[in-house]
């Protein structure tokens, strides 16, 4: 299966919404390396009644996998560098089966804007009914909004944690070299940062880099 998993049947007892006349048999491919994020997207689409969804995690050989899968709609994060691989599929395929970037006709600017701001790009293959595509996108956009917010928070938290570790190491070095307390060491770093009009983390980084060179 090398990186490609069909996920039909994970949630067998999905409550089909009966109020909508839209036929929910679109084949949807989600290109996403992070498996838990991919499954979250799959889950909300399934909750909405879309059952024919596949996840492509590993993008090696993406063109071949997509051609085997023959999806009607491909969803991919705007931030995913592998998006250019989908452009490749466009030139390699026959005209009728080419994935075409959504919103090419600019017929629905509000939805385009919403998708972009949520960080979602979508490709349609062939000519599925616009109503069905629009419905999938509405659901996916809502999910992507939450996801991209989570990603931003996660990246921010990771950076903050890495910065704190580095400042702690620098503090330790100052404490040892000058025989001062932890608090005094931090004040020294802070004073240096202020006099150089820079951040404490930058002073800490410079100190550690210099120390690495000298040891």
The answer to whether 158 touches 164, Cβ cutoff 8 Å, is no
The answer to whether 52 touches 26, Cβ cutoff 8 Å, is yes
Residue 183 or 202: which CB sits closer to other proteins?
Answer: 202
Q: Where are the beta strands (DSSP E) in 8-149?
A: 28-31, 53-56, 73-77, 99-101, 120-125
* Contact stretch for other proteins (CB under 8 A) within 21-29, 100-108, 178-186, 201-209: 100-108
101-to-32, 51, 76, 112 alpha-carbon distances in Å: 17, 23, 11, 11
Over the window 120 to 139, marking each residue x when it contacts other proteins by CB under 8 A and - when it does not, the resulting string is -x------------------
**Residue 100, class by beta-carbon neighbours within 10 Å (0-12 exposed, 13-18 middle, 19+ buried)?**
middle
Out of 8, 25, 68, 116, which residue is the one contacting other proteins (CB under 8 A)?
116
CB of residue 31 vs other proteins: minimum separation in angstroms? 12
The answer to whether 166 touches 199, Cβ cutoff 8 Å, is no
DSSP 93: S
In the window 144-163, what residues touch other proteins (CB under 8 A)?
none
C-alpha closest to that of 120 among 143, 93, 91: 143
Return the residue matching tokens 């770093």. Answer: 189
* Contact stretch for other proteins (CB under 8 A) within 9-17, 104-112, 156-164, 187-195: 104-112
Over the window 186 to 215, marking each residue x when it contacts other proteins by CB under 8 A and - when it does not, the resulting string is ------------------------------
Over the window 57 to 96, marking each residue x when it contacts other proteins by CB under 8 A and - when it does not, the resulting string is ---xx-x--------------xxxxxxxxxxx-xxx----
CB of residue 76 vs other proteins: minimum separation in angstroms? 9
Out of 101, 111, 173, 206, which residue is the one contacting other proteins (CB under 8 A)?
101
Instruction: Tell me the backbone φ, ψ of residue 120, rounded to 5 degrees.
Output: -110, 130
Helix (H) or strand (E) holding 6: strand 4-6
CB of residue 57 vs other proteins: minimum separation in angstroms? 15
Residue 19 or 91: which CB sits closer to other proteins?
Answer: 91
Residues at the site binding other proteins, with contacts judged by CB under 8 A = 60-61, 63, 78-88, 90-92, 101, 103-106, 112-113, 116, 121
């Amino acid at each position: 299966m090398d990186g490609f998993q069909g996920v039909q049947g994970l949630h067998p007892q999905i409550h089909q919404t009966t109020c909508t006349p839209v036929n929910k048999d679109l084949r949807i491919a989600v290109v996403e390396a992070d498996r838990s994020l991919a499954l979250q997207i799959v889950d909300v689409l399934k909750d909405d009644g879309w059952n024919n969804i596949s996840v492509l995690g590993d993008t090696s050989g993406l063109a071949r996998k997509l051609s085997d899968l023959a999806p009607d709609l491909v969803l991919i994060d705007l931030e995913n560098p592998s998006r250019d691989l989908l452009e490749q599929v466009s030139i390699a395929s026959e005209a009728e089966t080419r994935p075409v970037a959504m919103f090419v006709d600019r017929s629905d600017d509000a939805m385009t804007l919403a998708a972009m701001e949520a960080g979602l790009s979508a490709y349609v293959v062939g000519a599925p009914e616009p109503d069905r595509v629009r419905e999938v996108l509405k659901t996916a956009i809502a999910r992507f909004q939450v996801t991209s917010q989570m990603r931003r928070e996660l990246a921010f938290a990771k950076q903050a944690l890495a910065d704190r570790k580095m400042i702690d190491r620098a503090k330790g070095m100052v404490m040892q070299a000058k025989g001062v307390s932890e608090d005094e060491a931090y004040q020294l770093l802070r004073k240096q940062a202020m006099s150089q009009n820079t951040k404490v983390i930058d002073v800490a980084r410079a100190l550690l880099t210099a120390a690495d060179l000298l040891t």
